[in-house]
Amino acid sequence: MSQLYYYARRTVVSVLLIFAIATFLFFAFRFMPGDYATLLLQQGASPEQVAKVRQMWGLDQPLYVQYFKWLGNMLQGNAGMSRQFNKPVLEVVLPALRNSLIVALPGVLVAFVLGSLYGALMGSRPNSFLERYGIIPPNVVGTTPDFFIGILLLTVFSAWLGWFPSGSIATIDTLTSTSGWGLYLTTDFWYHYTLPFLTVVIKYMYYPTLVMRGSVVEVRNQEFATYQRLLGLGKWRRFRHIMKHASLPVVTVLPAVTATSISGLVLIEIVFNWPGIGQLLLTSVFARDTPVIQFMFLLIAAWIVIGNFIVDIAYTIIDPRITIEGE
C-alpha cells in the first residue's frame, strides 16, 4: 500500500513538474528580447514583411492565447515548426537527439560502471599506494575541458596513428546508402563512433570515481561493516554489502550527470563534427530558432525529472528504508 502510494505520488509530482517547466520555458522565451521577426528586421526586411511573418506565426496574438495554443499543440505531439529549416521541430530534433544519445547514454553508463569500480577499489585499500596516488589521473582528467580530451584523442589516434577517422558520424557513402536506424548497423558508423564515445567515457569517469572512493571509505567504517568482519564473512561477500551501500550517492547523481553531459556534448560534437543535438542547439541559438531551442530545453529538463523519478524508484529497490520514510 505504502509502496504504491509512494510511486503514485512520485508520478504525479513528476508530471506536474514537467508541466511547470514547460510553462516556465514558454514564458521565459516570450519575454526574451528579440524574436525571430526582429532577426529578419535586422537583415533588412521591411516592417510590412515583419508584420506578415508575425501574423503567420501568431506572434501578434495575446500571450495567453499563444500559450494555450502552444500547450494544445504540444499535447498533440506538435512542437511547432523550425524556422531555420522550415520543417516540423520533431523532424529536426529527433534524428539529432538519436545521434547524441547513442554517444552520451552508453558513454556515461560505461563511465559510471568503470569509475565506480575504480573508486571502490581505491576506497577499499586504505593507505595503499593506489588510494593515495590513484586519485591523481581522474582528477587531472576531470578538470580537463572535454573538447581538449577530444582533440588529444584525435591527435593521437587519428592524426598520428591513423586508426580512426578524424570526425563526422559516417562517410558520405554510408550516409547516402542508409536511412534512419539503418545507419547504426554499419561498421563504418562504429568506426566513427569510437573516439567521441571514448571522450565521453574518459570525461565522465572522474565523478563516480571520486564519489565512490569517499563513499566506500565511509561505509567501510560503518558499524555493520565492522560487525561483518567480526562475523567472519568472506571478503567478496563483505565487498558486495559495502558496494550496495556505497553506490547510493553514485546512483543519485547519475541522471543529473547524463543531463549535463548533453550540454557537454556541444563542444565534443563540434570537435568531432558529430550531427547531434549539441550542434543543433548551437546553430539554433545563432538562428534564434525559438521553437527548436525551447523544445530541446524541455527535453533536457524532462530527462532530469524522469531520471530522478527512475532513481527514486531504484532507491526503493536498493534501500528498503525509503518507503517507510515516505509515509
Burial class of 90 by CB neighbour count within 10 A (0 to 12, 13 to 18, 19+): middle
Q: How near is the Cβ of 282 to other proteins at its closest, in Å? A: 35
Q: How near is the Cβ of 222 to other proteins at its closest, in Å? A: 7
CB of 174 or CB of 247, closer to other proteins: 247
Report the length, in residues, of the chain. 327
Contacts of 46 (CB under 8 A, 6+ apart): none
CA distance to 85, 126, 127, 182, 225, per residue, from 98 (Å): 18, 42, 44, 12, 44
Q: How near is the Cβ of 244 to other proteins at its closest, in Å? A: 5
Three-state DSSP at 81 gives: strand
CA distance to 8, 212, 311, per residue, from 316 (Å): 13, 20, 9
Contact 123, 131 (CB under 8 A): yes
CB of 172 or CB of 317, closer to other proteins: 317
CB of 222 or CB of 260, closer to other proteins: 222
Number of C-alpha atoms within 13 angstroms, CB side, residue 121? 12
Q: How near is the Cβ of 217 to other proteins at its closest, in Å? A: 15
Amino acid type, 263: S
CB of 186 or CB of 228, closer to other proteins: 228
CB of 62 or CB of 320, closer to other proteins: 320
Q: What is the binding site for other proteins (CB under 8 A)?
A: 9, 13, 222-224, 226-234, 237, 241, 244-245, 318-321, 324
CB of 95 or CB of 326, closer to other proteins: 326
Q: How near is the Cβ of 320 to other proteins at its closest, in Å? A: 5
Q: And the C-alpha cell for 76?
A: 498533440
Q: How near is the Cβ of 87 to other proteins at its closest, in Å? A: 39
Three-state DSSP at 88 gives: strand
